[in-house]
Amino acid sequence: MHLTAPATGRAAARTRGRDADGTAVASFVLGLLGLLVLNAVLGPVAIVLAATALWRGTARKGRAYLGMGLGVADLAVLLVLVQLDGTLSWSF
């Protein structure tokens, strides 16, 4: 079994930054995908991921803000479609 010491210093900051950047991109992709399918699930997930990326100090702030905006748009689209359909489910 091979054990490694936890990353410290610059290596830890670089890893945290890379994770935050990946989280920002994931929020953007899930928010975009949520406009088409599963917006009740993917919208809130995109919002949480974007907030997490911003809290961790991502270098991709624009993507994180887009992911957050798309997550809110997912929920707005769901609300509009539910109001038009009169049910909690909708389809094309």
Instruction: Please list the pLDDT of the chain residue by residue as tens digits (92 residues).
Output: 556 656 565 555 555 556 778 899 999 999 999 988 888 899 999 999 999 999 998 888 999 999 999 999 999 988 888 888 776 665 55
pLDDT at 38: 87
Span 8-25, pLDDT tens digits: 655 555 555 567 788 999
69 near 49, Cβ under 8 Å?
Answer: no
The span from the CA of 6 to the CA of 2, in Å, is 13
pTM score: 0.75
pLDDT at 29: 94
HSE of 61, CA atoms in CB hemisphere, 13 A: 3
pLDDT at 4: 61
